[in-house]
């Protein structure tokens, strides 16, 4: 019998070894730090949870690449709960506990986690009635209509606090700037536990530091954001290009006119097809037409997505306006695709994200997001799109590539961008099986190394570095201010340790 079934005996041995490895792993895994006793005497004790579900959620994120166990999760019912926790951490005898605000955990490298610390679930504030307050009056100083928001579960299912900690970019940023450029005022609980209202005119140092500040200086508990009247409909157009220089020339022309409401661009390959989770735009017949063009163009195409919003007042003239906008563009003849949709459907095109692959397995998302200076995009195309990405030939997610105007950003804020009037963003939004994520890390590293060798001064968006030296390089001339502001508002380095800027970094690396 044994001779007839050699695989099953090997299989049994394999199971036994795996079982013992698992037990061994469990035995040597460091135990989580216990919750300091005195925290339980605070009034927030009943809102601190240590149950496995709460810990598991706070120890994972969209990337599914990093796991850092916190010791507790705070579900604040008021801003005072957050103040109490941060003050407690400041007065805690060593070792200190760290604290991380968590929006929706849409980070991909553990940025909202706090190993052996406390994660603050910001969504709990809105559940406790501290939600969006839209004002029907104009802001006296700026003249804008505004909304006061804590967490804004919009179509992207991101939070305002989380996006303001990075920048908040989209196809509308060429016109309105990133989300951080549209903030009038913030309430922040600093790393010392001080509650401070700030704006460009009031406590401006903190205001500018927090915007794009990766959660390092304080927890945003309210943001006053500029609102505009929303039109009702959108003319949604996609244009396909075989030629990279015409594709980028046209994108730059579009963003210089200020006429479109939205401009994005992307790379299409066999591995990153025209329809994907960000939107399913093409009909089957259009899809096969594009696939034929893709084959005849060596497996790569470029696509511009341009959208113009309109409403009843502009309905009679919108087609003419769109035609005049597109008439001089150099897309491949016949490769223009149009839709006319309700604005709400355009905004909701991504829908909710599904974190499961078809086999029901949790996917990983080893994303890479970069800003690339305009002066080097031809080299970037040759080295990254036509060489590295083509060579790796891995099934990937969407590959975004579209430009911004630097004058819509405020360089005094913490967000870091290239030093050129126009720069592009690259979004490599990979999804992969967990056992394949290493291949995407290799691909990402190859791109970064290529840019370094070629002297292309990229900056990472949603940055992720392992050494302090890399962080200093990332911030460049802003580093000293960033560090000094950290010392002023979070001297004990309590906040957002998952970013690994001031915590968990080998200082011998400097
Ligand atoms: C499907 C998807 C689509 C995306 N699309 C875009 C896009 O179009 N444009 C774009 O710019 N980004 C986009 N992102 C990236 C997104 O901006 C980041 O993931 C960002 O971190 C927001 O996610 P979050 O709100 O869940 O924050 P989290 O991941 O929970 O937190 C991110 C960081 O901010 C800190 N933080 C969170 N809340 C606060 C707060 N209230 N105060 C201070 N610090 C805080 C955390 O400690 C952490 O360091 C996308 C991400 C996903 C997963």
Domains of the chain, earliest start first: 133-227 (3.30.465.10), 233-460 (3.40.462.10)
Marked catalytic residue, from 187, 250, 264, 305: 264
pLDDT for 123-165, tens place per residue? 998 776 666 666 767 776 777 777 776 643 333 567 889 999 9
Q: How does the average pLDDT of the chain come out, rounded?
A: 88
Rounded-to-integer distance, Cα 483 and Cα 490, Å: 10
Q: Are 120 and 101 in contact (CB under 8 A)?
A: yes
Give helix 479-489 / helix 468-475 axis angle, nearest 10°. 110
pLDDT value, residue 508: 44
Rounded-to-integer distance, Cα 36 and Cα 456, Å: 48
Marked catalytic residue, from 61, 81, 106, 464: 106
pLDDT for 259-294, tens place per residue? 999 999 999 999 998 888 777 899 999 999 999 999
Q: Let me know if 305 is a catalytic residue.
A: no
Compute the distance from residue 163 Cα to the ligand 1 centre, in Å.
4
Q: Are 461 and 410 in contact (CB under 8 A)?
A: no
Across 10-19, 93-102, 462-471, least confident range? 10-19
Marked catalytic residue, from 38, 154, 345, 449: 154
Compute the distance from residue 224 Cα to the ligand 1 centre, in Å.
18
Rounded-to-integer distance, Cα 461 and Cα 169, Å: 10
Give the distance between the most distant pair of CA atoms in the chain. Answer: 87
**Which ligand 1 atom is at minimum distance from the Cα of 353?**
1
pLDDT value, residue 152: 39
Rounded-to-integer distance, Cα 378 and Cα 395, Å: 24
The number of angstroms, rounded, from the C-alpha of 507 to the middle of its chain's C-alpha atoms is 27
Q: Let me know if 106 is a catalytic residue.
A: yes
pLDDT value, residue 92: 82
Q: Let me know if 264 is a catalytic residue.
A: yes
Residues flanking ligand 1, CB < 6 Å:
61-62, 100-107, 111-112, 122, 156, 158-159, 161-163, 165-170, 214-215, 219-220, 353, 462, 496, 498-499
pLDDT value, residue 442: 96
Compute the distance from residue 8 Cα to the ligand 1 centre, in Å.
47
Tell the residue nearest (CA) to atom 13 of ligand 1: 168
- Look at residue 229 and tell me whether its pLDDT is greater than 90: no
Q: Are 209 and 414 in contact (CB under 8 A)?
A: yes
pLDDT value, residue 121: 96
Q: Ligand 1, residues 79, 148, 165: which to mutate, most atoms within 8 A of Cβ?
A: 165
pLDDT value, residue 154: 34
- Look at residue 81 and tell me whether its pLDDT is greater than 90: yes
Cα separations in angstroms, 439 against 55, 108, 310, 363, 396? 29, 16, 44, 14, 11
Contacts with 282 (C-beta within 8 Å, 6 or more apart), sequence order: 238, 274, 275, 290, 337
Q: DSSP string of 223-243?
A: EEEEE----SEEEEEEEEES-
pLDDT value, residue 40: 86
pLDDT level of residue 94 (50, 70, 90 thresholds): low
Q: Return the H-helix or E-strand segment holding 318.
A: helix 318-326
Across 26-35, 344-353, 414-423, 477-486, least confident range? 26-35
Compute the distance from residue 111 Cα to the ligand 1 centre, in Å.
9
pLDDT for 168-186, tens place per residue? 999 999 999 999 999 999 9
Rounded-to-integer distance, Cα 47 and Cα 202, Å: 33
Rounded-to-integer distance, Cα 255 and Cα 259, Å: 8
């Amino acid at each position: 019998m044994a001779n007839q079934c050699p695989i099953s005996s090997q299989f049994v041995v394999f199971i036994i070894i795996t079982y013992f490895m698992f037990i061994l792993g469990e035995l040597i895994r460091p135990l989580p730090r216990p919750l300091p006793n005195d925290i339980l005497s605070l009034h927030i004790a009943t809102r601190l949870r240590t149950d496995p579900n709460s810990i598991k959620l706070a120890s994972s994120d969209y990337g599914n690449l990093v796991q850092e166990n916190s010791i507790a999760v705070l579900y604040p019912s008021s801003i005072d709960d957050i103040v109490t926790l941060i003050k407690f951490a400041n007065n805690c005898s060593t070792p200190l506990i760290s604290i991380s605000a968590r929006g929706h955990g849409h980070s991909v490298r553990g940025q909202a986690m706090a190993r052996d610390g406390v994660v603050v679930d910001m969504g709990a504030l809105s559940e406790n009635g501290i939600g969006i307050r839209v004002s029907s009056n104009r802001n006296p100083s700026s003249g804008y209509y505004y909304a006061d928001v804590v967490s804004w579960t919009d179509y992207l299912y991101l939070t305002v606090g989380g996006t303001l900690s990075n920048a908040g970019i989209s196809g509308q940023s060429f016109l309105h700037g990133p989300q951080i450029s549209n903030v009038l005022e913030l309430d922040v609980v600093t790393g010392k536990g001080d509650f401070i209202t700030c704006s460009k005119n009031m406590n401006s140092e903190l205001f500018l530091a927090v915007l794009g500040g990766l959660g390092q200086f304080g927890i945003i508990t309210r943001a006053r954001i500029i609102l505009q009247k929303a039109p009702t409909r959108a003319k949604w157009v996609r244009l396909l290009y075989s030629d990279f220089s015409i594709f980028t020339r046209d994108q730059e022309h579009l963003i210089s006119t200020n006429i479109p409401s939205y401009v994005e661009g992307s790379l299409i390959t066999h591995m990153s097809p025209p329809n994907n989770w960000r939107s399913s735009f093409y009909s089957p017949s259009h899809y096969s037409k594009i696939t034929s063009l893709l084959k005849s163009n060596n497996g790569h195409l470029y696509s511009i997505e341009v959208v113009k919003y309109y409403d009843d007042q502009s309905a009679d003239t919108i087609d003419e306006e769109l035609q005049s906008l597109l008439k001089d563009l150099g897309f491949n003849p016949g490769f223009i695709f149009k839709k006319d949709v309700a604005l709400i459907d355009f905004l909701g095109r991504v829908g909710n994200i599904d974190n499961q692959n078809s086999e029901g397995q949790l996917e990983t998302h080893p994303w890479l997001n970069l800003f690339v200076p305009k002066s080097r995009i031809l080299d970037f195309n040759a080295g990254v799109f036509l060489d590295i990405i083509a060579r790796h030939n891995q099934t990937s997610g969407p590959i975004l590539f579209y430009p911004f105007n630097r004058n819509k950003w405020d360089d005094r804020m913490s967000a870091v961008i290239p030093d050129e009037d126009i720069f592009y963003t690259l979004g490599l939004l990979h999804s992969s099986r967990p056992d394949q994520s290493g291949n995407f890390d290799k691909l990402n590293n190859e791109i970064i190394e290529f840019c370094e060798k070629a002297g292309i001064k990229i900056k990472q968006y949603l940055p992720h570095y392992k050494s302090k030296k890399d962080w200093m390089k990332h911030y460049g001339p802003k580093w000293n201010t960033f560090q000094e502001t950290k010392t002023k508002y979070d001297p004990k380095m309590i906040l957002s340790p998952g970013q690994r800027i001031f915590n968990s970094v080998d200082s011998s690396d400097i």
